[in-house]
Amino acid sequence: MALTRASKEQLVSEYGGGLASAPHAFVLGFQGIKVGQADDLRRRIRESGGSYEVVKNRLALIAVKGQALESLSEHFNGPTAVAFCNDDPVALAKALTDFAKDVPVLQFKGGLLDGQAVAGEEIRAIAALPSREELLAKLLYLMKSPISRFVQGLGAIPQQFVSVLSQISSQKESA
């Protein structure tokens, strides 16, 4: 099915509004994935807070011109899809690597994290990172720990003082 000029312009504007402006994106090769598997992949990506777009390479290259995703232009060859998000790239990378364990034909061509290009092999390493929520919990624990130790120390001072007074009192009574 040949695309008209108007439909091509519409696709370029859709690509420009979504994937070209996203700070985090992963370029994927999906050759050999069945329809049911592709639906499962889309569902997993949506659940992680991302979006998935199968792109026409030439039109996607036009849309990403001048954007950060242009640094991955050499990966736009063959059947190409882009998974992108605005918030948590680790959750998206985890969803993609979990799917790739079940369907090994999914190829990681390259990625973009906060505007910086990363190699396709590094996406698995990104997925191994703790999620944003885990990092925030660890940060809160680290911030709370010195304060709670300080309060425990302050509570121990009167307790030790009373213990010393009790020992002095018992010594004076015995003497």
- pLDDT tens-digit profile of 57-89? 888 888 888 887 888 889 888 899 999 998 888
The answer on pLDDT for 1 being more than 70 is: no
**Judgement on whether residues 14 and 85 belong to the same structural domain of the protein:** yes
Mean pLDDT of the chain: 85
The answer on pLDDT for 23 being more than 70 is: yes
Task: List, in order, residues 6 or more apart from 98 with CB less than 8 Å away.
Answer: 44, 127
The segment with the largest mean pLDDT, out of 16-25, 104-113, 142-151, 164-173, is 104-113
Which helix (DSSP H) or strand (DSSP E) does residue 54 occupy? strand 51-55
Q: What is the DSSP letter of 65?
A: T
Question: Mean pLDDT across the stretch 127-136?
Answer: 81
**Judgement on whether residues 122 and 60 belong to the same structural domain of the protein:** yes
Strand-pair partners of 28: 81, 108
The pLDDT value recorded for residue 44 is 93
pTM of the prediction? 0.71
**Judgement on whether residues 103 and 25 belong to the same structural domain of the protein:** yes
Rg of the chain (C-alpha set): 28
**Residue 135 domain boundaries:** 131-175
Q: At residue 53, what are phi and psi to the nearest 5 degrees?
A: -140, 125
The pLDDT value recorded for residue 116 is 83
**Judgement on whether residues 63 and 77 belong to the same structural domain of the protein:** yes
| One-character DSSP codes across 66-108 | TSGGGGGGGG--SSEEEEEESS-HHHHHHHHHHHHHH-TT-EE
Question: Mean pLDDT across the stretch 168-172?
Answer: 84
Give the count of domains, the chain. 2
Q: Amino acid letter at 144?
A: K
> In angstroms, what CA-CA distances link 57 with 43, 83, 106, 108?
23, 14, 17, 16
The answer on pLDDT for 46 being more than 90 is: yes
**Judgement on whether residues 55 and 76 belong to the same structural domain of the protein:** yes
The pLDDT value recorded for residue 43 is 95
